[in-house]
Amino acid sequence: MILTDKRILEEIRKGNIVIKPFERKYLGSNSYDVHLADTMAVYRDDILDARKHNELEYFRMHDHQGFLLLPGRLYLGVTQEYTETHAFVPFLEGKSSIGRLGIDIHSTAGKGDVGYCNTWTLEISVKQPVRIYPGMPIGQLIYFEISGEVLVPYNRKQTAKYNRKTKRPVESMMWKNFNSKLLGQK
């Protein structure tokens, strides 16, 4: 079941959901709008390697100019909001107004885990050139109830790759999956 606005507010008061900064005007009937921060990134290399630590080149957008996104390129953005979810599964979805501009904000990583405590890295791609701006609403968080007890929340997992708190987009950590300890190889 998806949490309603009233329930989200109750869970914020209990500390089960944390959104910083939180502004009541961004709370929808069953979601919370998140906004694009001014820091963006692109991969330095044109060819990415899943076994390699692919490095990012960071840049900042300016309020008045924004930034022009082009098709055929992956951009990593980040939410202004830092979130914590201790008793629910958070889902990040694009807003309909963003989708109608041909902007996708995630390829496959829309679901968080119970215990996820961080900003959200956005995997941004576009269908045609679009200018974006820092602070614009970019997505919405939806919270789902879970059934059963979580043994190890994400923020306590030894193998969690995205626990380091940051205000910048985070590159793929797939290369860590190829670590010989994780694969059980010598």
CA 53/CA 171 separation, integer angstroms: 8
Confirm whether 123 is a catalytic residue: yes
pLDDT in tens, 34-54: 999 999 999 999 999 999 999
Catalytic residue among 84, 93, 123, 171: 123
**How do residues 80-127 score in pLDDT, each as one tens digit?**
999 999 999 999 999 999 999 999 998 777 788 999 999 999 999 999
For 125-135, how does the pLDDT look when each residue is reduced to its tens digit (9 = 90+)? 999 999 999 99
Q: Extract the tokens encoding 173.
A: 């950590």
Domain ranges in the chain? 5-157
CATH of segment(s) 5-157? 2.70.40.10
- Tens digit of pLDDT for each residue in 147-185? 999 999 888 888 888 888 889 998 888 888 876 454 444
Q: Give me the percent of the chain exceeding a pLDDT of 90.
A: 76
Amino acid 30: pLDDT: 97
Could you list the beta-strand ranges (E) of 79-152. Answer: 82-85, 88-94, 103-104, 117-118, 121-126, 130-132, 137-145
Q: Which pLDDT score, from 0 to 100, does residue 186 have?
A: 42
> DSSP labels for 2-16?
BPPHHHHHHHHHHTS
Q: Tell me how long the chain is.
A: 186
